Structure 1
Amino acid sequence: MMTEEEIYAAAERAGKPRSRTGNFEIDRIRFDEKGLVPCVVQDSRTGRVLTVAYMNRKSLEITLSRGVTCFWSRSRQELWLKGESSGHFQHIVSMEADCDADAILVRVEKDGPACHRGTDSCFDTDLHVEFAAE
């Protein structure tokens, strides 16, 4: 388990500092009963959805302060800085909350595959269906 200090240090190593504008206020986010908010992560260049992950207040603070995605791992029950072990960081281009402030859309530039399986997106699976107009 990474300490908070280790998360911050790894986020610093991710580089690509950016200036920040806007009024994203953490206090307006509606976290669920477990203290989490779902985040849809989208490639800023292609518009493709890369993953859906969860943030708690601390991971959202790290994301906003460092400019790279940090999530809460529900399976490991710990902070998870995307790219810390793989080097495939996701650099924030923009973030916005939905109309109820209970979900977040994060647009990123990525350093490599988004999925831990090495695929471009976590949605690169054979579990899908398509519908065609008749």
Structure 2
Amino acid sequence: MSSVEDVARREQGTEFLPKFDANGLITAVAVDHRTGALLMLAHMDAEAIAKTRESGFAHFHSRSRKRLWMKGESSGHVLKIVEIRVDCDQDALELRVEPAGPACHTLATSCFYRALSSDGTLKRIDD
């Protein structure tokens, strides 16, 4: 199959053909399905995608721990999957989720709780 056919299958077809990077990972963002708020960004490998689809709860590949982990496995702040959306070229996923508590390990609602100010400093923003 030519690369043009491969691109067409991935971008226009109905097959789930995730385009992993050189490390076998794909970027995934978790979004609150009710509010649309961006909660977190993480990475998934094939195992994390399979476990997420099987369990209905978000699993990721921890680059620092080099292992599979379920979001909330120790805190209880799990992310229940409502829908998994795939971007146009299948190299990123949007996990539409129902969060059971704060998404960030700092206990902020979202991992994106600071904004970059014009002076180059970080300013905490309200959730």
User: Percent identity among equivalent residues?
Assistant: 44
Instruction: Give how far 1:129 is off.
Output: 4.2
Q: Which has the larger radius of gyration?
A: 2
Equivalents in 2 of 1:43, 1:118: separation in Å? 16
**Mapped pair 1:41 → 2:43:** no
Q: After TM superposition, what 4+ stretches of structure 1 lie above 2 angstroms from structure 2? A: 127-130
Residues 83-122 of structure 1: per-residue CA shift (max 9 Å, x gap): 1100001000111110000000110001000000000000
Aligned pairs, number = 105
2:96 corresponding residue in structure 1:
107
2:5 corresponding residue in structure 1:
none
Flag structure 2 segments of 5+ consecutive residues without an equivalent: 1-13, 119-127
Instruction: Give how far 1:128 is off.
Output: 2.2
2:8 corresponding residue in structure 1:
none
Alignment equivalent of 1:128, drawn from 109, 116, 121: 116
Alignment equivalent of 1:78, drawn from 36, 61, 67: 67
Flag structure 1 segments of 5+ consecutive residues without an equivalent: 1-22
Equivalents in 1 of 2:52, 2:117: separation in Å? 34
Equivalents in 1 of 2:69, 2:39: separation in Å? 16
Q: CA RMSD in A?
A: 1.5
Query: TM-score normalised to the size of structure 1?
Result: 0.75
Query: TM-score normalised to the size of structure 2?
Result: 0.79
